[in-house]
A = this chain, B = another copy of it.
Amino acid sequence: MSAGAYTVEIRVMPRASLLDPQGQAVHHALQALGFGDVAGVRAGKHLVVQVQAATREEAAAKARSMCDRLLANPVTEDYECSVSP
C-alpha cells in the first residue's frame, strides 16, 4: 500500500468554559482601535501539518494522536482536525 501525502489543518482553541487572557487582550486592543462592535474574542492556534499516510483515515488518526500527545493541552484546550485532499 503506497503512502500518500495529506495536509491536516488543526485548530486548537481554549475551552469555552475557561478564561482566555490572550483573547481578552486582543479584544481590548480592538476596542482601543475603535472596533466597539466587537463583543468577544477567543484566541487559539492554527497548525498545518503535512503527513504521509496510507489513507485519509490514517492521516486523521495520526493528527489526533499528535494533538493528544503534544499540540493541545487536554485540560485547557479543544482541537479539531480536517484532512485534505
Residue numbers of A with Cβ under 8 A of B are 3, 5, 11-13, 23, 26, 29-30, 33, 35, 37-53, 62, 65-66, 69-71
A80: nearest chain-B partner, CB-CB: B46
The A interface, classified by DSSP as helix, strand, loop or mixed, is: strand
Copy number in this complex?
2
Contacts of A29 in B (CB 8 A): 70
Contacts of A44 in B (CB 8 A): 45-48
Residue pair A49, B45 in contact (C-beta under 8 Å)? no
Query: Measured between C-beta atoms, what is the minimum distance from A51 to chain B in Å?
Result: 5
Q: With A45-B46, A46-B46 as given contacts, are A70 and B39 in contact (CB-CB < 8 Å)? A: no
Contacts of A30 in B (CB 8 A): 49, 66, 70
CA distance A11 to B43 in the complex (A): 10
Scoring A46, A47, A51, A69 by chain B CB atoms within 10 A of each residue's CB, the highest score goes to: A46
